[in-house]
Amino acid sequence: MQIPKYAQHVPRSSLVRIVCRGACQVVRYAEVSKTPWSSAGPNMDMELSARCLVCGYTADDNYNWMRL
């Protein structure tokens, strides 16, 4: 899958796809706050988040993120 321009500056290991519930309201690429990260179970790590690379919306529902 081709990485859109707005996400190309982010290392691939830090990229995920999220459903942006901010301004976008669509699936967007986002940058995770740290790697590696785990999608197992509820997010117990309060520092782990993914920021939409288009509008800046921050998601913490890591069980919904899609790895590339």
Residue that is written with structure tokens 């590339």 in the block: 68
Helix H or strand E encompassing 19:
strand 15-19
Q: How many residues bind Zn ion (CB under 5 A)?
A: 8
In the bound complex, what is the minimum distance in angstroms from residue 14's beta carbon to Zn ion?
A: 16
For residue 19, state whether it binds Zn ion (rule: CB under 5 A).
no
Nearer to Zn ion, 26 or 40 (CB): 26
- Alpha carbon distances (Å) from 34 to 7, 15, 26, 49, 52: 16, 10, 23, 8, 14
Which segment (12-20, 32-40, 42-50, 60-68) binds Zn ion by CB under 5 A? Answer: 12-20
